[in-house]
Amino acid sequence: MKKGLIGISNNVKSNKDKIRVWSESFKRYVPDGEVILLVANSTEEDIDAVKELGINYKIIDINIDPWYINNLRLIHTSEYLRESDIDLFMVTDVFDVIFQSNPFDKFDTDNYDFFVGGEGITVNEEPWNKDVLNKCFPTEVNHCVDTEIVCSGVMGGKRESLIPILEKMYDMCINSETNHNIRDQAALIILISKNEIERIKIFNLNDGWAMHCASSGPTEFLDGWGMGGTITNRYGGIPKMVDGVVCTHEGHRYDIAHQFNRIPEWHEILLKPYE
């Protein structure tokens, strides 16, 4: 099966180093994989920068405020996937995603088509996601409060299954209340809470697939919002760094570390191999 990684960026020249870590870490563990960057509202300098990175790219125009790029990326990504012959994709954020091993190795494609990582807490246990749901999808909140938060910044699966999911998320975003600029994750949580995504695999924090540092790592939110105790009670401990690698509390390597820039000491350590 052909494998690929796709993400979106504007201001590519300014963010070249972040994009390089994202793409090079993926190629390190998936050497036969293809990396595609959707380059939004590009300048000539942006195109020169992405060419220097040696990755594939597609120029796209975002004709409304790029502040809403999280929502708009969904339709541009699905359009690219429709034209692609790659079988399995990772669809991720770019600036704060680093790969620590091959994320496709844990894909059971006989039984699942779509893969995401749970954050170990429910909507009712985490204020940020609940706030977005209240602001943008107020009629859906009560249905979602006991749903585990999953992160739309790291999604994977079969190309033909990703396309309708991304398009459904996009439709929900553009038809929602416009009280928050980031709505894609709320849309995904709603779809999962309503069982509208078939053959979905939600990896938990002990599976070692993806770790989302903002909610599960040693940030101010872990104690400030009480999530550290919740995760420890539920999973036996919280993720940690072991010998320069982000690991489960039992010391097993995560394939993906997301939002690692939220933890300055982790950020510095993880970037060293790519300096």
Q: Which of 15-29 are b and which e, b meaning 16 or more Cβ less than 10 Å from the residue's Cβ? A: bbebbbbbbbbbbeb
Longest dimension (CA), the chain: 52
Q: Give residue 71's pLDDT band: very low, low, confident or very high (50, 70, 90).
A: confident
> What pLDDT score was predicted for residue 225?
85
Q: Would you state the torsion angle of the CA atoms of residues 213, 219, 223, 227, taken in this order, to the nearest 10 degrees?
A: -10
Answer whether residue 65 shows pLDDT above 80. Answer: no
The helix/strand/coil state of 100 is: coil
> What pLDDT score was predicted for residue 268?
96
Distance of CA 62 to the CA centre of its chain: 20
| Exposed / middle / buried, residue 214 (Cβ in 10 Å: 0-12, 13-18, 19+) | buried
CB atoms within 10 A of CB 191: 17
The helix/strand/coil state of 81 is: helix
Cβ-contact 206, 235 below 8 angstroms: yes
Report yes or no on whether pTM surpasses 0.85: yes
User: 69-83 vs 184-193: helix axis angle to the nearest 10?
Assistant: 70
Q: Give residue 221's pLDDT band: very low, low, confident or very high (50, 70, 90).
A: confident
Q: How far is CA 154 from CA 43, 45, 203, 230, in A?
A: 27, 28, 11, 23
Half-sphere exposure of 58 (CA within 13 A, CB side): 17
> What pLDDT score was predicted for residue 66?
58
Measured distance CA(116)–CA(114) in Å, rounded: 7
pLDDT tens digits for range 146-191: 999 999 999 999 999 999 999 999 999 999 998 888 999 999 999 9
